[in-house]
Amino acid sequence: MEYTKNDLINFLLLMIISLLIIPITVKSGYWYSSILIPWLCLALASIGQQIVMGYAGQLALGAAGFMAAGAFACYNLILRVPDIPFFVALALSGLIAAAFGILFGLPSLRVRGIYLMVATLASQFFIVWMIDKFGWFKNYDSSGIITAQDIVIMGKSFTSPLEMYLVIVFVVTVLTLLAINMARGSTGRNWMAVRDMDIAAESMGISLLRTKLQAFAISAFYCGVAGALFAFTYLKSLEPVAFDIKLSFKILFMVILGGLGTISGAFIGAAFILLFPVLLNSIGNNVFHGAIDATIISSIEQVVFGVLIIIFMIYEPLGMAKLWDNIRLKFKKK
C-alpha cells in the first residue's frame, strides 16, 4: 500500500491543526478537558469497535468492558511496577485488554449476528464485575472512586489540560496510522473477506479462527488503550461504573453513525455523539433561555440518536463518512 499525495497533505493539515492551531488558539481548559480529550479517547475506542464490527463484521458489544480492563490495568501497572514508563504501561494495558478480547471473541467461532452480540455482552459485565468483586484491582480502596495517578513521562508530569491533550494526540495519531495501515493492507482485506463471505474466505485459505480472534484482540487493544487514556485524562479517576453498558452502546452508535468500515467514521461518529448533546444544551440555554427542562433535552437527545440510527441503517449504511465523501465528490465535479 502506498500513500498518495492527498493522504500526505491531509495528514500534514491534521497535524498542523491539532499540534499548532488548536494549542495556540484554544485557551480555555473546558474545550480540552470536556470536548477534545473525551472525543479523541472515544474515537480511539471507536476505531477498536470499527475493527471488529466494521471490518471483520463481528457484531460485538462490549467495548466499555475492554476499556475498563485497560484503565484498571494501567492503574495497577503504574501503582505496582516501580518506575514503569507511562507509554509502556499504556501499551501493556492494551495487551492485557487484548487478552480479554481473545477470550471473549471465542464465541464468534460458533455464533454470529445478534447472538454473538449477546454473547459478547459477557465481556461487558464480567470485566466490570471482576474489578468490583476483587479488591486487589482497586488497591483495596473502600471509597469506590480511585484517583488516577499523574501522567509522568521522562520525569515531567503532564497534568494541565493542554499537556494531557498533547499526550493523547500523540497516542491517537500513532494508533490511527497503524490502524489505517492494517485496514488498507492485507490484514484489513482478510477481515473484510470474513465479513462479506466467510465460506469463500475460508476456501481462499483464510483461517476464520485466526482472523476473527485477531480482530477481537486488536479491537480490544485499541479499546484498552482508549480506556486507560479516558480514565487518566478525562475522568481522572477510576471507577468501574464509568465503563457501563451505556458507554458500550455509545461507542456502538458512534461506529454506526460514523460509518461502518471506515477509520474516519470513528472520528466523525465520536464527534457527533459527543457534541450533539452539547449543541442541544446550548440551544436550550441560548434560544429558549432555559424554558425547556434539562431532562426533556436529554430525552430529545435519545430520540434524535434513535431516529438517526434508523435513518442511516436504511438509507446510508456506510454512515456519515460516506455522506462526507459524497459531498466532497460533488464539489470536485463542479
Partner 1 sequence: MAQERRFPIGSPILEVKNVSLSFGGVKAITNASFSILTHEIKAIIGPNGAGKSSMLNCINGIYQPQQGSIIFKNELLSKVNPNLIAKKGISRTFQNLALFKRMSVLDNILIGRRLHMNANFIQVAFQTNKARKEEIENRKKCEEIIEFLEIDDIKNTPVGKLPYGLQKKVELGRALATEAEVLLLDEPMAGMNVEEKREMCRFILKVNDEIGTTMVLIEHDMGVVMDISDNVVVLDYGKTLADGPPSEIRANQDVIDAYLGVAHD
Per the CB < 8 A criterion, the answer to whether 74 and 84 are in contact is no
The three-class DSSP label of residue 170 is: helix
> Residues in the chain, how many?
334
Closer to partner 1 by Cβ: residue 242 or 263 = 263
- Candidate residues 41, 193, 266, 321; the one interacting with partner 1 per rule CB under 8 A: 193
Cell triple for residue 38?
473525551
Q: Tell me the number of residues near partner 1 by CB under 8 A.
A: 28
- Candidate residues 142, 205, 291, 332; the one interacting with partner 1 per rule CB under 8 A: 205
Q: Verify binding: residue 24, partner 1, rule CB under 8 A.
A: no
Q: Verify binding: residue 208, partner 1, rule CB under 8 A.
A: yes
Q: Which stretch binds partner 1 (CB under 8 A): 116-124, 179-187, 238-246, 280-288?
A: 179-187
Per the CB < 8 A criterion, the answer to whether 104 and 97 are in contact is no
The three-class DSSP label of residue 153 is: strand
Q: Verify binding: residue 206, partner 1, rule CB under 8 A.
A: yes
Q: Verify binding: residue 99, partner 1, rule CB under 8 A.
A: no
Work out the burial of residue 11: count CB atoms within 10 Å of its CB; fewer than 13 is exposed, 13-18 middle, 19 or more buried: middle
Q: Verify binding: residue 325, partner 1, rule CB under 8 A.
A: no
Q: Verify binding: residue 201, partner 1, rule CB under 8 A.
A: yes
Cell triple for residue 7?
493522504
- Candidate residues 182, 213, 226, 235; the one interacting with partner 1 per rule CB under 8 A: 182
Amino acid at 86: F
Per the CB < 8 A criterion, the answer to whether 70 and 242 are in contact is no
Q: Verify binding: residue 326, partner 1, rule CB under 8 A.
A: no
Question: Residue 282 CB, nearest distance to partner 1 (Å)?
Answer: 38
Q: Verify binding: residue 186, partner 1, rule CB under 8 A.
A: yes
- Candidate residues 76, 123, 176, 214; the one interacting with partner 1 per rule CB under 8 A: 214
Closer to partner 1 by Cβ: residue 37 or 98 = 98
The answer for residues whose C-beta is within 8 angstroms of residue 43's C-beta and 6 or more apart is 172, 254, 266, 267, 270, 271
Closer to partner 1 by Cβ: residue 218 or 257 = 218
> Dihedrals φ, ψ of 237, to 5°?
-150, 165
Question: Residue 218 CB, nearest distance to partner 1 (Å)?
Answer: 7
* End-to-end CA, the chain: 30
Question: Residue 253 CB, nearest distance to partner 1 (Å)?
Answer: 21
Q: Which stretch binds partner 1 (CB under 8 A): 11-19, 64-72, 142-150, 192-200?
A: 192-200
Q: Verify binding: residue 204, partner 1, rule CB under 8 A.
A: yes
Q: Verify binding: residue 218, partner 1, rule CB under 8 A.
A: yes
The answer for residues whose C-beta is within 8 angstroms of residue 321's C-beta and 6 or more apart is 258, 259, 262, 264, 265, 268
Q: Which stretch binds partner 1 (CB under 8 A): 5-13, 178-186, 244-252, 294-302?
A: 178-186
Q: Verify binding: residue 58, partner 1, rule CB under 8 A.
A: no
**Rounded distance, CA 250 to CA 253, Å?**
5
> Using the 8-state DSSP alphabet, how is residue 146 labeled?
E
125-164 binders of partner 1 (CB under 8 A): none
Per the CB < 8 A criterion, the answer to whether 218 and 79 are in contact is no
> Rule CB under 8 A: which residues touch partner 1?
1, 178-179, 181-182, 185-187, 189-190, 192-193, 195-197, 199-208, 214, 218, 261
